[in-house]
Amino acid sequence: MLSYYRRRTPGFISDIIIMRLSPVSQHLLVFISVLSLKIITWTNSAVSALFYPFGSAAGDTINAAVDDGSSSVIQLLSPFLFFDRTYQQIYVNNNGHLTFNEPSSAYVPYSFPARGSQDIIAGLWTDLDNRPRGVVSYNQYTSGNVLTRATQDINTHFPNLYFTASWVFVATWDKVAYYSLTNTETSFQVVLISGRNFSFILMNYGDIAVTRHLVQAGYDTINSTHYFVIPGSNNGSSISNLRNSSNVNVPGRWAFRVDGGSNSNKGNLTTHYHQFVHHHNVLYPEMILLRWPRELNAQKNKTN
């Protein structure tokens, strides 16, 4: 049976379709879209294509395999403007987040808005452990194919800016385990891109293992003047859906303009979501479908 819902919240209209299959069917197929219904397909090759070059083959610097560890201070080859502050350095923390003024060993993520004293970019902040498996690495570029690709991506995701990338920083967590769960693998990437007075963040997600650890993905500034939580990213039981969600119509990618310029991110809050849910897994998809428009509407209000 096919059910159709239209839910209105201030400033948002969300179309929701729920397909109920007979008990003998093996899967429930759910499509969600805020503002308009679009079907997004996903394949392993599509997800791997999201990632910028990484690892030893790309000449990355690799973080030491230390629980709750961090990189040493990384001097940026070009200043990075993050809303009201310009940074010349950064730290890549093994637990899935970037900080600017000092490294962070925190394995329990702050709930954004934290109204704290530091700027944080959280690709997937949780209790990760690169000792049993996985690699945390980083690199930065000021020329070459990576800049060409970044220029194309930003102009696709943020049209009419006529942007040209002059610097790219890539941090990758490749098949890293959760702490005490050595058989798990989680892969994601945070890409910082700048050029002229523009700054952007891409968050790319591959396979993300479910977890009981607390999780958080998004960003938060000092005093939470600006913050964003990727909808659903603070629920470890459904965190694997990051590889299917997007605000730029590319499954597994979230893109943000973070220089604080006019209308930053206002045009990029439409989320498309494509999920296969096993019918025996009691996730109450109707509840998920009704919750997402509220979450996206809240994110929209933060940018106004």
Domain boundaries, the chain: 1-36+270-304, 48-257
pLDDT for 261 equals: 82
**How far apart, in whole angstroms, are the C-alpha atoms of residue 32 and residue 166?**
36
**How far apart, in whole angstroms, are the C-alpha atoms of residue 174 and residue 159?**
30
* DSSP code string of 272-298: EEEEEEETTS---HHHHHHHHHHHHHH
pTM of the shown model? 0.77
pLDDT for 10 equals: 36
Please, are residues 72 and 89 in contact by the beta-carbon 8 Å criterion? no
Please, are residues 31 and 60 in contact by the beta-carbon 8 Å criterion? no
Residue closest to 153 by CA, chosen among 143, 139, 163:
163
* DSSP code string of 205-262: E------SS--EEEEE-GGGSSEEE-TTTT-GGGGGGGGT-BSSSSTTEEEEE-S--T
The three-point CA angle 7-8-12 to 5° equals: 115
Q: Is the peptide bond before 132 cis (omega within 30 degrees of 0)?
A: no
**How far apart, in whole angstroms, are the C-alpha atoms of residue 205 and residue 44?**
11
Walk along the chain (304 residues) and give the pLDDT tens digit of each residue: 444 333 333 333 333 333 444 444 444 443 333 333 333 444 455 556 899 999 999 999 999 999 999 999 999 999 999 998 999 999 999 999 999 999 999 999 999 999 999 999 999 999 999 999 999 999 999 999 999 999 999 999 999 999 999 999 999 999 999 999 999 999 999 999 999 999 999 999 999 999 999 999 999 999 999 999 999 999 999 999 999 999 999 999 999 999 998 655 544 554 444 333 332 233 333 333 344 444 555 554 454 4
Please, are residues 296 and 271 in contact by the beta-carbon 8 Å criterion? yes
